[in-house]
Amino acid sequence: MIKKMLILTALTVLLTGCTDRNELILYTWSGMFPQEILDGFEKETGIRIRYVNFDTNETMMTRLMHGESGAYDLIIADDYIVENVINEGLAQKIDPLHLSNYKNINHLYKNQFYDPSGEYTIPYGAGIQTIVYNPQKINIPIRAYADLWDTGLANSIGIIDHFRVINGMALKVMGQSYNTNDIEVIQAAGEHLKLLAPNIRLIRDDNLHDELLSGEISIAVMYTSQVTMAKMERPQLVVVYPEEGLGFGIMPAFIPVNAPNPDAAYAFLNYILDAENGARCFEYLGYYSTFSGSDPYIKDEFKDFLTIPEGFDFDLMEMIENVSDETAALHNRLYTEFKSRAGR
């Protein structure tokens, strides 16, 4: 046991070097913060930011599981993987007393499935999958996911490349949950999804909004950030919140259990939780504001895209959660069959 601890300690030293009290090791995807926020934090606090990127949530999880929880001070990832992080004991509890701006969090986004007690995470941005279309090219009413199966939309739809989101559309059309583990229901939804294939022109996860703006596609199912960028460039595009309900996700921030400099992590969290700083972050990121204190500071031209629409029925929103291995494998197989049917 002692030998194992010595090896892990040596690994942490190798990865991080000696702990620098004036350094924050931030581990997340690239492009998560505007440079003005990073520069402003360093200038105000004197703490340097070492920004380390991962390519996938699974890469991050693998590194933490292999002893690198002492290599980073603050991590931002997707909700489903953070559930695993917490269950594995790889995140430490966050003390709100260390965050004078904690009150600015929108509590609608706290105490979610990945952190039911709300003790381990700070929500940084939330997204939903919506339908967006060009009204000059689409002349049929679009109110729901079910409308995407209309034969008048042949070879005109672009969708993001996310198997749980796209399979989930078919589940929602059938009145089912994104997170069902009922194999027969999922199989039936997969068969129904195949009927959508003739309408699919493009399956692409990155920058799908570019294809809507160029006219390559006329209608799309896109992430919030893509919708924001598309609408900012072309306000006449129409956004539809599907009647069947929609999935949403949150990017939680957490402090690893063995973070070398948790004080720096708290300082950065408090800095972005500042109402005005948070507004600048969400305008840059293009996701829903998870800090209600920031909402009044979001510029008018962004407010329609970055804050939940007035009167929106939250009962229609469902988070896409982890499912059993058997269920995930079935989802993957059905989605692969659908893409093959769509010629993608």
Average pLDDT over residues 7-27: 60
| Residue 321 · residue 84 · CB < 8 Å | no
pLDDT band at 2 (very low <50, low <70, confident <90, very high): very low
Name every residue whose Cβ is closer than 8 Å to that of residue 178 and which is 6 or more positions away in sequence: 164, 168, 171, 172, 247, 318, 319, 320, 321
pLDDT band at 138 (very low <50, low <70, confident <90, very high): very high
Q: Which helix (H) or strand (E) holds 81?
A: helix 79-87
In the 8-state DSSP scheme, what is residue 288? B
> In 3D, which of 120, 11, 14 has the Cα closest to residue 74?
120
Other C-beta atoms lying within 10 Å of the C-beta of residue 205? 13
CATH class held by domain 2-126+250-306: alpha beta
What share of the chain has pLDDT > 70, as a percent? 93
pLDDT given for residue 11 in this prediction: 40
Phi and psi dihedrals of 132, rounded to 5?
-130, 135
Burial of residue 154 (number of CB atoms within 10 Å: 0-12, 13-18, 19+): exposed
Whole-model pTM: value is 0.84
| Residue 73 · residue 264 · CB < 8 Å | yes
On the question of pLDDT at 13 being above 70, the answer is no
pLDDT given for residue 5 in this prediction: 34
pLDDT band at 17 (very low <50, low <70, confident <90, very high): very low
- Provide CATH 3.40.190.10 ranges for the chain: 2-126+250-306, 127-248+317-341
pLDDT band at 246 (very low <50, low <70, confident <90, very high): confident
127-248+317-341 folds as D-Maltodextrin-Binding Protein; domain 2 (3.40.190)
Distance CA 79, CA 272 (A): 19
